[in-house]
Structures are given as structure tokens and as C-alpha cells.
Structure 1
Amino acid sequence: MKKENSIGFYLFQNLLLIISTGYKINDKNIFSAFQHGVKEYRDFVFLQDGVIDNDIDWVSQVENSANILAQTNQHYKNAIFSLLKVFPADHQFWEYLAVEEKLYYSYITKEKYNNIKKPVLEISDFEEMSYNKHNLALVPIKGMDWLFEAKAGYDDIRNIFTCVFNGMQMMDDIDDFAKDLASGQWNLLHSDVRKIITGENLINDENLDRFEERIFYASGLCEKYSLYTLEQYNNALINSEKFDFPELKIWLTQIIEEVKESITLVHKITQ
């Protein structure tokens, strides 16, 4: 899931409205109740992410009489209470949610493991982690599939968003390359840079500042993965053209232009 300063925050904040045009909504009360439950669950995940990533100012929490742990727990309870008004306790939605939550938490555990062990990663590892990191965003889409008649199949929509997730995650990893390296956040880009350093026996004899980041740009890795990002977003846009998702098309078009500008900037830096 995404934080407020990320490119995906708007998308996740407005996901149901964005995809709602792809469904025949014949009960606005049910849709409204579902929206509320999804919002509470989304807020729970956002707050939980902050705790897991250790992004919390605990001193401020005490001094301002705040308690993010209590807030997180309350959002989760609110989400369950609201969603039970839409899906009875014996509905398959709950089994589906449990499966997706297990997948999401397995991603978090694997991410922490990778940060410590720093294994060699491949693009397949990246795409698996990217999907698992964002899979909870697909739960509302599956829920809509159960509640209303869909103009597009769930698998078609999932394919669109899988490309979106890959594009967003790669964009984040590129933008945060130096920050993630400093904090010990291990990913495919760092793994590839280490492959180059090891394979070419590169040594930072002069103690160059931002040594790994220089290699990331000079080796062509930044351009390579920027083009991958562009490809993923273009695939998402092409697939979304088949369905009635005007807001998604607008968002994708804007993001694609941003990626193109970034690629142009990379060319200038590396030439």
C-alpha cells in the first residue's frame, strides 16, 4: 500500500470511485456502506504500514496524547463492523480476505528477511513482491464483483492493476534508491548494482560519495528500469482502454508523461 506522499496515494484513496464506472450499481446504500468499510480498512493498512516501517515519532505520540496503535486497531474494528453489514459472516468474501491478508503479511516478512540477508534478486522476485505488497487493494475490486454486475471481469481488472503495481513500485524504488540504500531497504535495484560491483571487481578507492548511486546511473540500470516502468504503465493503459474507467485512464496518462520526463532527465544525466 502507499503513503500520502507517494504517486499511488490518489489511486488507493479513490479506488472504488475510479472503478465504479465499470459496474452496474443498482443499490446505492450497499455501495455507500461498502465504501465506508473499504475506507476504514484502507486507513488501517496505511497506519499499520507506518508502524511496521518504524516511521512513527513515538515521542510526539506521547507528548500529544496520541496513540497510533489504538487508532490502527479502531480502524480495523470499524472496517469489520461496516463490511459485516454488506457481507454476512458466512460469505466467501471473508475467506477471500483472509487469504489475501496472509499473502500480504508474507510479503512483509519476506521484505524484512531480504533487508537482513540481502539476497540476489531477479525481476520475477520484484514482480512477486510488488503484487503481494499491493494485493489488498484488489480486495475492494473483488468485493464489487460480488455485489454488482461487472462490465469487466475481475481477472481483466486485476491484470490492469498488476501492471500499475509494477510501475508504481519500480518508480518508487528508482526515486528512493539512495534513501533505501541508506536505511537498509533491499530491493532489485540494489541487488543489480551489487552484481555489477562484484562482477567487475569495482572498488571505491577514492571513497567517492554516492558510489552505488553513480553505478546505478552510469551502468544504464536506471534507464533500463525506467523503461520497464513505462512499459508497465503503457500496458495498463492499453488494457484499460477496453473498459469504462475514464479516471484511471486520466491518471495513467499523467503518470506516463511523468515517466517520460524522468527518462529524458536520465538521458541528460548519463550522457
Structure 2
Amino acid sequence: MVRLGFIVALIALIGVLLSGLAAYRVHDQELAIDGIALARAIDVHASLVQDRLTERELLARVASGLFRTPSMVKANMLQPLRSAIYAFKTDFVFAAWIARLRPNELAAAEAELKANGFTNPTIRDFDDQALDLKALDKPINVLMDVEPRNPETLSIPGRAFDRHSVVGPMLARAMASGKPVASDPVPLLRLNGPVGVVLAAPVFPEGASEPAGFITFSYELSALMLTNDDSSLFAVALKDPRDSNDEFTANEQGFVTSRAVRQDGPMPSMVRTVTFGGRDWSLD
């Protein structure tokens, strides 16, 4: 009788162990399936972001190719492009024509800006400080036209961006490479404006070795790479691979903030790389 009870108990124990093992395997399989589904969702998200970035870069290339022999001192260079760029994509904050002006063209450029009704037609520095135009001995990059034209953008034309800490190096890289180049993240329109990136495409007149200027498109970072909403399965942070100390995040309202990366903080679940304007960006 004791032996029979022992055998029954042993069989029951083996059954429990087998049931536990089967439950563990099912649970492990469910975790693996969830992990695969999450990885697929992240890949789809990164692919959609990359498609979006590629479209915007293509727009810049097409827009720069529509220029033929631009007159650099004109302040309505975007006029022939307005219908074309709006037909393609309309989510840029503003588009601009930045001309490379020689010192002897600056007076004519100021007259053009004044004739086109811009708020401040004076050629000046990027921060609206006066420039000593007589001391200039080489071309400078002056914003000569902007789209859309509204009370906030009408004050921008006339600014020279060579000494701007973000836009200046971007224009130099675009001129050297001859291709569209993206800037570092920068506030748009004003110091406390929405954080975005600027994409600059050099415009080369036929047969010229140096660009006559640049067409630029400014995009909000949240709409471009950091779209987060109620249906998102995860939060996304943007990081420049050249600088691993800071990252950008956007809340559900699209407000972007920069924060220092905590070295002891949690690691991102996955990292995907996207390319925009000749640069790699990390989506964490």
C-alpha cells in the first residue's frame, strides 16, 4: 500500500514537473513572439522615418535642379518654385533662398530686398547686428527670399549666415560636397522656436564650379523623426552618433526637448540608424 502511494506521488510529481516545463516553454515562446513583433514594429517605424527623410532630400535636389542661371541679387527666386514645392511636400516650416553675394553686389541686394517689401532690407549678421560691408573681401551667404511669407518670416531676409554656429558650417559642407547637407538640430525662426533641422542644397549655374547659392528647407524635428502619439508602441529618442552625450525626445504634443544621456540610465530596447543630408542619425 505504501509502495503504491509512493508510485502515485512520484507520477504526480513528474506530471507537475512536465506541466511546469510545458508552461515555461509556452511562456518563453510567447516572449519570443512578442520580441519579434516589437522588433518588426520598430523596423517598420524606422523604415517610415527613412522614407520620409528620403522624400525631403529628393525635394531639395529637385528644387535646386530647377534653377538654371540664377541672378543672385534677386529677392523673389522662389517664385517659380512655389507651386512645385507645395505640390510635392508642404510640411516644411519655411523654405529659403540663400545667395552667395560678392561685396560689390550687396547694395543692389539691399535695393531688391526693399523693393520686395521685407521688414528689414539691410544686409546684416544672422543675429541682426550690423555688418561692416566695406571690410568684406569675399562672398557672403545672405538669405534673399523665404516661403511662406508671413509676419514671422518677413524679418529673416537680409541676414548673412556665415558666422552662424550651425547654419554657417552646414553651408560650407554643402558647398564642398555639392550635395544636400543637413544641419545639427537648431531652434527655427527664433531663439525659443521649435527645434528642427535645416537641409541645404547647393545651386550650381550651368558650367559653374562654385554654387550661386543654396535652397534650404527647415523642418521641425518632431514631425520629421520623432513622431510620438497615442498609437505608438514605444518612445523614440534621436541621437547624433558623433555626440553620444545628448539626445532629443518629443512628447505627444510634438514638443522637443534635449537632455543629457544618463550613463547609468536604462539602455534603449533597440537602435536603428537613418540617413539624412549626408549624415547618420540614431533612433533609440
Question: Which structure has the highest helix share of the two?
Answer: 1
The TM tier, using the shorter chain, reads under 0.3
More strand by share: 2
TM, length-normalised to structure 1: 0.25
- Larger radius of gyration between Structure 1 and Structure 2: 2
**Higher RCO structure, 1 or 2 (CA under 8 Å, sep 6+):** 1
